[in-house]
Structure 1
Amino acid sequence: MSEQQPARAWRLVLEHIERDLLDGRLGPGDRLASERDLATELGVGRSSVREAFRVLEVMGLIRTATGSGPQSGAIVIATPTGGMSALLRLQVAAQGFPLADVVQTRLVLEDAVVGAMAASPERDTSVAHGLLEAMDADDLSPAEFLALDAQLHLSLAEGSGNTVIAAMMGGLRSSIESYVQGGVDAIVDWDAMATRLRREHRALVEAIDTGDADDARAIVHAHITDYYTQILTP
């Protein structure tokens, strides 16, 4: 019984802070009550409050600093790419997600990404163009090429303006790189594959640049599914 009490206690602190966030009593930039005040208000030990703060900091919701100045204590920051990306990376690393589910999720996200970018009059593909040029180098190993490939797709997600999608793509990046890199041995003619991927990448970025959302979606769907199919059935 005594071993379960701390677990219930720090969760109680999390639930209290969550309610304050949902009800608008707390928001980005606000300082949480002190450990002592929260412990007294909720009837828990200060160690349980500290544990809750550690969880929130790992999740990217607060930052903590010691001292007595204006930046001290626990402050709400709600970093969108923090906790969500970390959670997805850990789940992928622990093989909590089947590869087919990762690929399907990637298709959904990238469809939204390229559609949004192509439709936006303020789209910026300068980072993508720089990566396209980097992938044109003749001396790249397959691993180096595919690392740039992953960066290209992530740059489009970050350029889409949707912070949730960007965070999810960032979290899935390790799994995307993993299955893409892992499939190299199944490719009989790597040079031909690299040439094809370069062509598809350039067609995708061109469709975005010209505002052709339908074409961009079709290209990215074929680009992802064709590679995935080839590495599984060479």
Structure 2
Amino acid sequence: MPEPTAARESQRAWRTVLERVERDLVEGRLGPGDRLPSERDLSADLGVGRSSVREALRVLEVMGLIRTATGSGPHAGAIVIAAPAGGLQQLLRLQVAAQGFPIADVVQTRLVLEGAVAASLAASDARDTADAHALLDAMDDEALPAPEFLALDAQLHLSLAEASGNAVIAAMMAGLRTAIESYVLEGSARIDDWTGMAQRLRDEHRALVAAIDGGDTESARILVHDHIIGYYIAAGLVPDTAL
């Protein structure tokens, strides 16, 4: 695994690309049907490697904001296919502020919010976990580097919050996304067997979504609690007696 400093640098590079595109969408410089600058132009403009540009574009594609196609011609490259949900500009400001929150507070907040999300989704007769299943499938790619895997992981948890129908919880989870990703990525650098941990996370995610789909409220609540706590402890981010 990379050293923590290298992991943070890697995340910062592709996060720069991600936030640039999000900001252009929010401020109207980009909209559905518009083409993003090429990988080469984004790389040169933002001072990051082309691999970081590709990581950011892949996350944006999984989020349903862009479509990418190889080759040449009018349908090649990255094209915007949807605008982000309302309020993203405010959420981006919260994301910046959230990076200064103590990790124990972030974890406690996740436990409260995501326990409620899992239980309410499982209890709902109108649950829709299609987005969650698409993200589960995307995370099955064993070639994903840790930063990209964990970005999709954070998006999965956000998608469940959005599916709950509670706009306040969804907004809070979206606002915490950057802080969550920063902490879990830092922790990934401390895990000797990342391949094993990634598979463990895949299994836990699928068990959680299966419990939600099956309407098992109590199992869903327990699974998301143990999933969150288990990673932070395994990564050495919190002691096993802290929460």
Asked if these proteins are the same fold (TM beyond 0.5), I'd say yes
Which residue of the partner structure matches residue 45 of structure 2?
Answer: none
Distance 1:201 1:142 in 2: 16
Does the Cα contact within 8 Å between 1:80 and 1:167 map onto a contact in 2? no
Does the Cα contact within 8 Å between 2:151 and 2:181 map onto a contact in 1? yes
Match of 1:89 among 78, 88, 95: 95
Name the SS for the 1:232 alignment partner.
Answer: coil
Distance 1:189 1:146 in 2: 15
Stretches of 4+ moved more than 4 A in 1?
none
The 5-angstrom pairing of residues 86-165 of structure 1 reads 86-93=92-99, 95=100, 97-165=101-169
The 5-angstrom pairing of residues 1-234 of structure 1 reads 81-82=87-88, 85-93=91-99, 95=100, 97-232=101-236
Distance 1:98 1:129 in 2: 31
Distance 1:232 1:199 in 2: 21
Distance 1:138 1:228 in 2: 22
Does the Cα contact within 8 Å between 1:81 and 1:163 map onto a contact in 2? no
Give how far 1:85 is off: 2.3
Give how far 1:92 is off: 1.6
Distance 2:216 2:147 in 1: 31
Aligned-partner residue type, residue 206 of structure 2: R
Name the SS for the 2:126 alignment partner.
Answer: coil
Distance 2:132 2:92 in 1: 24
Unpaired runs of 5+ residues, structure 2, are: 1-84
Give how far 1:91 is off: 1.6
Which residue of the partner structure matches residue 14 of structure 1?
Answer: none
Distance 2:87 2:199 in 1: 33
Distance 1:83 1:127 in 2: 23
Distance 1:166 1:138 in 2: 29
The alpha-carbon distance between structure 1 residues 132 and 181, as it changes in their structure 2 partners (threshold 3 A), is same
Give how far 1:88 is off: 2.6
TM-score norm. by structure 1 comes to 0.63
Aligned-partner residue type, residue 153 of structure 1: H
Give how far 1:90 is off: 2.7
- Aligned-residue Cα RMSD (Å) equals 1.7
CA deviation digits over 1:2-24, x for unaligned, max 9?
xxxxxxxxxxxxxxxxxxxxxxx
Give how far 1:184 is off: 1.0
Which residue of the partner structure matches residue 24 of structure 1?
Answer: none
Aligned-partner residue type, residue 138 of structure 1: E
Does the Cα contact within 8 Å between 2:91 and 2:171 map onto a contact in 1? yes
The alpha-carbon distance between structure 1 residues 138 and 107, as it changes in their structure 2 partners (threshold 3 A), is same
> Aligned pairs, how many?
154
Bigger Rg over Cα: 1
Give how far 1:230 is off: 1.3
TM-score norm. by structure 2 comes to 0.60
Q: Considering Cα pairs closer than 8 Å and 6+ residues apart, tell me whether 1 or 2 has the greater RCO.
A: 2
The alpha-carbon distance between structure 1 residues 216 and 85, as it changes in their structure 2 partners (threshold 3 A), is same
Aligned-partner residue type, residue 130 of structure 1: A
Give how far 1:86 is off: 3.8
Does the Cα contact within 8 Å between 1:183 and 1:231 map onto a contact in 2? yes
Give how far 1:143 is off: 1.2
